[in-house]
Amino acid sequence: MACWGVIGGSGLDVWDELTWIDEVAISTPYGEPSSVLRIGEIERLSKPPIKVIYLPRHGLDHRYAPHRINYRANVWALKQAGAQKLIATATVGSIALNIKAGSICVPDQLIDYTWGREQSFSEDGNVLHIDFTHPFDEALRSALIRSSKALIAYEDFHDDGTYACTQGPRLETAAEIVRLAKDGCSLVGMTAMPEAALARELGLPYALLCLSVNAAAGLGLSAEAIDHDDLKRVMAQGMHQIKAILLSAMQSDEDRA
């Protein structure tokens, strides 16, 4: 029975539906994680419960902007607490025109445009050159894809895509989005890096479950500006699906194990 780590992105700062049985505060050599870790269990009929460790990436009150998150402390703390694989959620903007706001996406690639973030656990004398050809774990992606296909309408789900990780916290300019599109990116967010690479450095399988909450800057309904009220509304609506997919993916993966 694996112990799952879930990193909750925007819109999943609290996860009330799960039964939390414990809370642990973990200090790491890299500083404090975004919040205490919550330990929960998913009950299953005549099977042992699944253990889940949950950490809201931005903190319980969404206090940390993407460039201020202590990604190293977060990933380290989850591993220290016993997580063996990580699923992270993220809200994104859609660059690809076929990914409508409100859709769910499980990306298979990423491009990192961030700067000035602590990128690695490498230290002088102990340099890590992890293989990162495929940044997301394929088995975890498959679990998320299976559950998404079972729960979401065909046209609202995308089982691949390239995630552009921008620095934030501001949203992009229209010209930046044109450039990201030319680079082959289909989604844009601010938090998957360095998180995904740090998980790989610690040997933790990692996959990302994305909810598109807006057309990226300059595109479609965001041609003139990105409407924050719209974005929040789509995020609130989509979180029900994100939570359902998370639960189902963990359950079905354990059933197949």
Which residues contact ligand HPA (rule: CB under 6 A)? Answer: 91-93, 166, 171-172, 188-190, 213-214, 216
Q: Minimum distance from CB of 177 to ligand HPA (Å)? A: 8
User: In angstroms, rounded to a whole number, what is the distance separating the alpha carbons of residues 217 and 77?
Assistant: 35
Nearer to ligand HPA, 148 or 214 (CB): 214
Nearer to ligand HPA, 144 or 177 (CB): 177
State which residue has the least CB distance to ligand HPA: 93
Cα–Cα–Cα angle for 164, 218, 220, rounded to 5 degrees: 100
Q: Minimum distance from CB of 190 to ligand HPA (Å)? A: 5
User: In angstroms, rounded to a whole number, what is the distance separating the alpha carbons of residues 151 and 244?
Assistant: 8
DSSP state of 185: -
Q: Minimum distance from CB of 58 to ligand HPA (Å)? A: 12
Q: Minimum distance from CB of 217 to ligand HPA (Å)? A: 6
50, burial (CB in 10 Å: exposed 0-12, middle 13-18, buried 19+): buried
Nearer to ligand HPA, 144 or 216 (CB): 216
Nearer to ligand HPA, 65 or 139 (CB): 65
User: In angstroms, rounded to a whole number, what is the distance separating the alpha carbons of residues 234 and 214?
Assistant: 8
Residue owning tokens 């990914």: 99
